[in-house]
Amino acid sequence: MKPSEYTSFDATGLAECVSRGDVTATELIDCAIALIEERNPALNAVIHEHFERARKFAADAPAVGPFAGVPFLLKDLGGGHRAGDAIHYGSQVMKDAKHRAATTSYLVEDFEAAGLIVVGRTNVPELGAWTTTEPEAYGPTRNPWNTDHSSGGSSGGSAAAVAAGIVPLAHASDGGGSIRIPASECGLIGLKPTRGRISLGPDVGEAWGGLVSEFAVTRSVRDTARLLDAVAKPRPGDPYSIAPPARPYAREVGAACGELRIGINTAVPSGPIDPECQIAVEAAARALEDRGHNVEVARPEGLEGTPEFTEAIVAVIASHQARDVERLGAYRGREFREGDLDPDNWLLTTAGQQMSATRYLEALEKLHAAQRQAARWWQQGFDLLITPTLTNPPPKIGTLVPHADRPLEAFTRSSHQAGFTAPFNVTGQPALSLPLHWSADGLPVGVQFVAATGREDLLLRVASDLEPSEGWRCPAP
């Protein structure tokens, strides 16, 4: 198989080729490696290469699992750790220390049990904190649709690699939109599963007070469904639990949706949204109405982005980041100091260090109250909420980078950009970004679909109904 043919398949299609004997896993790995060597210099998406190990695994491992032989990339953060592999969290300090993971996460075990073969690791912003992937440690990851623009964050390296056709799907994680943001900016499908659907263990029970979920970015709905079937395995001792699906998610692809009641919201209090994002949602609403669904302007209360709500989110994230930085300092044998982090990350870390336990608990109480208030909306007859994924199309490289002379300006801009995504990290509900619109200048603009807790099945049904028969526009030209 030639790389040009390889890029025309999603992960399910490649696995079927291996199963039929049309191609070997080794040939697929060689295609992915060739594309990394060809396309990564312009994108800077892949920062660690595992080429020889991947070739050996492809040659030696039995072809088992739903994605047997399919090349895959892990994010350099979160649940993407594999024992012995370099993992640097987007940090120059951890890069200089040549830090390596001590354990393998359950998620990586499940990815590999599904037959995926890891060929490398992708770029992330420092500590995964920003909505753009431009760390000092590795430099910016660029958008395959226009390399002057950001690929999003914090899973920007993974999204750029998938959008460029290097791999058909890649690991991603989401604490405020970090699956959905890069999916929107790179024209991909990005599902943040329900809190508790995928274990963060064995090292982590919860991250960022329950805000963080792990999964992937993909190019097809069927890949999203099949991968969720493979990795949605809560483990004993996990702090959250969720009822298992009634049937495999793969069976939801193409299943009837019924007549749905859908709310639509295009406003955030932090500021205006770009007209392209408004156009994207309006077009999605018309498409859903054409399919017989009832669409109306409506949104749940409790997630309006009031200053108190935003302050509570920041308090929780800052507290956890302070602990994360303390832990990374223990790994390297020295505490982090000013200058070890970018200016905004340092300010966020010091704010967390100064946070009292009672203030942290007060912030959690506010977020839990907002979660309960929002949940009532879904109990009152609504099936879905539709919003823009982001407040703007992909920004230019450099727009969201922290600067010492403009403290927290980049943080504030990132918060506004994530105004539609972060609330559903608070509620823990499943949320999905779909590549339903391209701007006038050819940049992807995602639309976000949010369902009630545990209803990934409904999101997958709607997504497969909206997916064009020829698939969305990926890989990027």
Residue 227 lies in a domain: yes
- Cα–Cα distance for residue pair 206/123, rounded to 1 Å: 23
In this prediction, residue 234 carries a pLDDT of 87
Residue 401 lies in a domain: yes
Query: Residue 303: pLDDT band by 50, 70, 90 thresholds?
Result: confident
Residue 318 has pLDDT above 90, yes or no: yes
Per-residue DSSP letters for 81-111?
--TTSB--TT-HHHHHTT-B-SS--HHHHHH
3-state secondary structure the chain: CCHHHHCCCCHHHHHHHHHHCCCCHHHHHHHHHHHHHHHHHHHCCEEEECHHHHHHHHHHCCCCCCCCCCEEEEECCCCCCCCCCECCCCCHHHHHCCCECCCCCHHHHHHHHCCCEEEEEECCCHHHCCCCCCCCCCCCCEECCEEEEECCCCCHHHHHHHHCCCCCEEEEEECCCCCHHHHHHHCCEEEECCCCCCCCCCCCCCCHHHCCEEEEEECCHHHHHHHHHHHCCCCCCCCCCCCCCCCCHHHHCCCCCCCCEEEECCCECCECCCHHHHHHHHHHHHHHHHCCCEEEECCCCCCCCCHHHHHHHHHHHHHHHHHHHHHHHHHHCCCCCCCCCCHHHHHHHHHHHCCCHHHHHHHHHHHHHHHHHHHHHHHCCCCEEEEECCCCCCCECCCCCCECCECCHHHHHHHHHCCCCCHHHHHCCCEEEEEEEECCCCCEEEEEEEECCCCHHHHHHHHHHHCCCCCCCCCCC
List the single range of 213-222, 263-272, 298-307, 375-384 with lowest mean pLDDT.
298-307
Residue 270 has pLDDT above 90, yes or no: no
In this prediction, residue 448 carries a pLDDT of 98
pLDDT tens for each residue of 391-434? 999 999 999 999 999 999 999 999 999 999 999 999 999 999 99
- Cα–Cα distance for residue pair 181/169, rounded to 1 Å: 16
- Cα–Cα distance for residue pair 47/76, rounded to 1 Å: 8
List active site positions.
75, 154, 178
Stretch 127-134: mean pLDDT: 96
Query: Residue 477: pLDDT band by 50, 70, 90 thresholds?
Result: confident
Stretch 355-359: mean pLDDT: 97
pLDDT > 90 in the chain, percent: 94
Residue 229 lies in a domain: yes
In this prediction, residue 200 carries a pLDDT of 97
Residue 473 lies in a domain: no
Q: Which residue has the higher pLDDT, 343 or 304?
A: 343
Residue 186 lies in a domain: yes
Please state the domain count of the chain.
Answer: 1
Taking a C-beta distance cutoff of 8 angstroms, is the pair 294, 260 a contact? Answer: yes
pLDDT tens for each residue of 182-229? 999 999 999 999 999 999 999 999 999 999 999 999 999 999 999 999
Residue 78 has pLDDT above 90, yes or no: no
Task: State the chain's mean pLDDT as an integer.
Answer: 96
Residue 477 lies in a domain: no
Residue 472 lies in a domain: no
In this prediction, residue 61 carries a pLDDT of 81
The distance of Cα 390 from the centroid of its chain, to the nearest Å, equals 13
Full-model pTM = 0.98
In this prediction, residue 267 carries a pLDDT of 94
What CATH number has the domain bearing residue 284?
3.90.1300.10
**What is the extent of the structural domain holding 180?**
3-466
Residue 139 has pLDDT above 90, yes or no: yes
- Cα–Cα distance for residue pair 389/43, rounded to 1 Å: 23
Q: Report strand pairing: 294-297 vs 261-264.
A: parallel
CB atoms within 10 A of CB 442: 12
In this prediction, residue 368 carries a pLDDT of 96
